[in-house]
Structure 1
Amino acid sequence: MDFYQIPSETRIGHVHLKVSNLEKALDFYCGILGLELMQKFGKQAAFISAGGYHHHIGLNTWESLGSPPAPKHYPGLFHTAILYPTRKDLAQIFKKVHEHGYPFTGYADHGVSEALYLDDPDGNGVELYWDRPRNEWPTDENGELTMYTRALDLNDLLATLNH
């Protein structure tokens, strides 16, 4: 059987999330994480982005207004990942979220990237991360990628803000 291979230039364009309260979601994604509101459709939907793109994240209450979060062990979205351009940018968002008193659920060094984890107000997982340069990614003796999960040194991450 021949398998189709997606073009290597393909990118994931956006994610659209069902939320229970649009204003709480906007407070989190725009107020804390700093995404920009691009368009709002009444009290039911909004499109937000980084850098003026039409939208990286869509938020809507069409089927979920006032609903409780989905149980963690049910199928569905594990997390939305937001890629920051530099390690210093990741340190800046860590500091901002921490200063807001918003709780993180974890921190990890994956070899290829460093990541911060938290949940949005509806319990949707959010990963904030930056990728190391490709030539620094861990590989085995055959050149195969060997990602891992180790503790992230938050003090070292924050030290990038002083350089």
Structure 2
Amino acid sequence: MHISSISTVTLPVADQQRALDFHAGVLGLEVRSDNPSPMGRWLSVAPKGAETALLLASWFPDMAPVGGLVAASPDLDALAERLREHGTQVQGPTNEAWGRQLLFNDPDGNGFVVTQA
């Protein structure tokens, strides 16, 4: 037996609405779910057509930021410009041995590496 896919990765956030505004409004992810649950608001977002969603969870007060996620974008320059327009500090895009990438943190300190798709 083995794990065949990952459906959800939890991102700890302090304010779910602020996180939704950033992840959907700035990064362009689509809302997959926004429902009440026994733990709190079950709010998830994902790139259109993606198998894995990000759960924007605020009910873990002692949870540290996830550390880092790696994502892909077809246009790093446009993404970097959009992030900067919304006040996000961005490193790059830079050319690395494996290709182009940019680095940034979401408003809760979760780190993102985005590579050129």
Question: If the length of structure 2 is used for normalisation, what is the TM-score?
Answer: 0.76
Instruction: Kindly tell me the number of residue pairs found equivalent between the two proteins.
Output: 111
Residue of structure 1 in register with 2:20 after alignment: 26
Of 114-123 and 51-60, the range deviating more from structure 2? 51-60
Percent identity at matched positions?
A: 26
Given residue 106 of structure 2, which amino acid in structure 1 is its aligned partner? D
Aligned ranges for residues 3-82 of structure 1 at < 5 Å?
Answer: 14-42=8-36, 44-53=41-50, 55-64=52-61, 70=64, 77-82=66-71
- Structure 2: stretches of 5+ with no match in the other structure: none
1:129 positional shift: 1.6
* Backbone CA RMSD of aligned residues: 2.7
Preserved contact between residue 101 and residue 114 of structure 2 (Cα < 8 Å): yes
More strand by share: 2
1:23 positional shift: 0.7
Q: Which has the higher contact order (CA 8 A, sep 6+)?
A: 2
Preserved contact between residue 14 and residue 55 of structure 1 (Cα < 8 Å): yes
Residue of structure 2 in register with 1:141 after alignment: none
Preserved contact between residue 7 and residue 51 of structure 2 (Cα < 8 Å): no
Q: Distance in 1 between matches of 2:41 and 2:71?
A: 23
Greater Rg over alpha carbons, structure: 1
**Cα offsets for 1:24-82 (capped at 9, x unmatched):** 11111111111011111236221111114464211111222xx6x84xxxxx7331111
Given residue 114 of structure 2, which amino acid in structure 1 is its aligned partner? L
1:116 is aligned, of 102, 105, 110, to: 102
**Cα offsets for 1:119-154 (capped at 9, x unmatched):** 1111111122215xxxxxxxxxxxxxxxxxxxxxxx
Given residue 100 of structure 1, which amino acid in structure 2 is its aligned partner? H
More helix by share: 1
Q: Distance in 1 between matches of 2:99 and 2:5?
A: 18
Question: If the length of structure 1 is used for normalisation, what is the TM-score?
Answer: 0.57
Preserved contact between residue 6 and residue 52 of structure 2 (Cα < 8 Å): no
